[in-house]
Amino acid sequence: MEQHTLSWGRRYLMVEPDHFRVDYAINPYMDVRDQPDPALSREQWRGLVEAIRSAGGEVEVLGQRADSPDMVYAMNLGLVVDGGPAGADRRVVHSHMRHPERRRETRTAQPWFAAHGFAGTYVGRDGVGAHFEAGDAFAWRDALVVGYGPRTEELGLKHLATELDVRVRGLRITHPGMYHLDLAFCPLDETRAMVCPSALDEASAAALLALVPEPLVLTEEEALTFCANSIVVGSTVLMPAVPDRVRAQLEDWGFEVVLVDVGEFHKGGGSVRCLTNPLDVVRGRDLPRVAGGEVLLP
């Protein structure tokens, strides 16, 4: 079968898990009585770094704040929308986390992005403005596809569209266990994606299925293995788990499935995609510019 690949997803930011704990519960998976093992967490995290490098990807590492146990989920630190080569005009949209427990993280991520040449934009400031968590957003096909509800607020979509001059396609998340869109949606190449309609309300589920020319539709049970919380490096899909049926379809499409055990991080409610933040998305190439912006809701 003919193999296409995403034009982004070769370069990632990750946060070294030096202070990974479960100190509070802000999603249904977190339980302060079930703490991750620090040594095993570190080993699994290194395994993920290795797997990305073996698939041909690059990883940049940021240290973790001692007071921010969820900072390991680097995907939520911000959304890179212009990640061209060093020296090019780079741009990141900082997250404005829903939960105050996570707001310190952005204060550490901002100087890192600035030092790497990224100009920062806000959808909102700490405590003011709409919430936006980057784990809800994907540059895919003709738009920035953004989940809203549990974390990102609907008002944030308008800001994203007008500030970035892009089309934003909003999808309303209703499933408490898929509180970020990246637990229910995983673009594989420019026409294929894993999608779990049961994460969304009826109209949004229909809109997502209409958007994906060749969907790999996941049942709720399949998605709750976190199999959609995967990343694609070229034609390799790095996955925390893969139901047999899902593996068969991916391999039939020409992808290589590599399983990476990050089970300790499931205790915080995140997996492979949550631990990695793509730095190489480029507006104009991966995300068409639309003057003035546009928000499409189902």
Ligand X SMILES: NC(=[NH2+])NCCC[C@H](N)C(=O)O
Please give the residue ranges that form the binding site for ligand X (CB under 6 A): 26-27, 30, 70, 73, 75-76, 102, 135, 180, 182-183, 268-270, 274
In three state form, how does the secondary structure of 62-103 look?
ECCCCCCHHHHCHHHHEEEEECCCCCCCEEEEECECCCHHHH
- Both tokens of 288, joined, read 């068409």
Residue 239 CB, shortest distance to ligand X, in Å, is 15
Closer residue to ligand X (CB): 28 or 284? 28
Q: State how far the Cα of 287 lies from the Cα of 91, in Å rounded to an integer.
A: 13
Nearest distance, CB of residue 26 and ligand X, angstroms: 5
| Least distance CB 235 / ligand X (angstroms) | 23
The least CB distance from residue 201 to ligand X, in Å, is: 19
57 vs 135, which CB is nearer to ligand X? 135
Residue number with the shortest CB distance to ligand X?
135
CB-count exposure of residue 38 (10 Å: 0-12, 13-18, 19+):
middle
Contact 255, 188 (CB under 8 A): yes
Closest among 97, 1, 10 to 278, alpha carbons compared: 10
The rounded distance, in Å, linking the Cα atoms of 25 and 177 is 13
Of 233 and 274, CB closest to ligand X: 274
| Closer of 52 and 293 to ligand X (Cβ) | 52
Look at strands 236-239 and 231-233 and give their pairing: antiparallel
Name which of 102 and 131 has its Cβ closer to ligand X: 102
